[in-house]
Amino acid sequence: MSAPALSRTRIKICGLTREADVDAAIEAGSDAIGFVLYPKSPRAVTAERAAELASRLPPFITPVLLFVNEDAPKVIASLAQVKGSIAQFHGEETPQQCEEAAGGGRFRYMRAARIPLGDAGAGFDLVKYASDYSHAQAILLDAHVEGYGGGGKAFDWSLLPPAVDAHLVLSGGLTPANVGDGIRILRTRCKTLSVDVSSGVEIDGPGNKGLKDAGKIRQFVAAVRAADASFSS
């Protein structure tokens, strides 16, 4: 069940709002691009805007649409509008609600698991959570903070179970400086490991949420590839 030694860590850059940032993520070698369709988020875009930005993607790069407790018909319509997209559910959606919002198998989806910060993270039963959401393509791991999304915070990765029968996506507080540590800690604990970054590759300063730094994106991808190489050396 452990990830093969030579498996490549997939990378998603999330919370994109501008053409230049989509292009930078593509150029750096990202595997997926995330668009936030949660109106209360400072990085929110409409489905129409997501479709416009996603039209810049070349083949084999996946657009991901993030939803929080959204009505199933709106989720289905948005996924249909952004061709080739998959859903990422970040609210209190039950397994049944995820299936309904994914069109009963018409679309693929990921389910976010909100892991408590600090020692409390050890009490989160990720094995059961992954089993409950067994129809999800992957379980995304994010820090549990006020509101939805990790808020740029990282939970204690070492407290997660040693073996989880699921594809995992590590998120929450990742940066070019720490993503390698996250990969080294979690890579052998799941089927495959991917990583998801948003605030960690944004332009510094207040008011810049949703505005990415192309240099930081390149640094993040390079750090992931360096961590991958350490497993094969």
- Euclidean distance between CA atoms 173 and 200, whole angstroms: 7
Catalytic residue, from 21, 142, 196, 228: name it. Answer: 142
Which are the contacts of 36, defined by CB distance < 8 A and separation ≥ 6?
Answer: 14, 15, 43, 44, 45, 66
Q: Is 213 a catalytic residue?
A: no
Q: How confident is the model at residue 117 (pLDDT cuts 50, 70, 90)?
A: very high
Q: Is 23 a catalytic residue?
A: no
10-227: which CATH topology? TIM Barrel (3.20.20)
Catalytic residue, from 14, 190, 196, 228: name it. Answer: 14
- pTM comes to 0.94
Question: Per-residue pLDDT tens for 143-167?
Answer: 987 766 556 789 999 999 999 999 9
> CB–CB of 176/216 below 8 Å?
yes
For the record, the structure tokens of 11 come out as 């990378």
Question: Per-residue pLDDT tens for 9-54?
Answer: 999 999 999 999 999 999 999 999 999 999 999 999 999 999 999 9
Which long-range contacts (C-beta less than 8 Å, at least 24 apart) are formed by 225-232? 225/29, 226/180, 227/9, 227/179, 227/180, 227/183, 227/184, 228/8, 228/9, 228/183, 230/180, 230/184, 231/5, 231/6, 231/187, 232/5, 232/6
What was the pLDDT predicted at 3? Answer: 43
User: Domain coordinates of the chain in residue numbers?
Assistant: 10-227
Q: How many residues comprise the chain?
A: 233
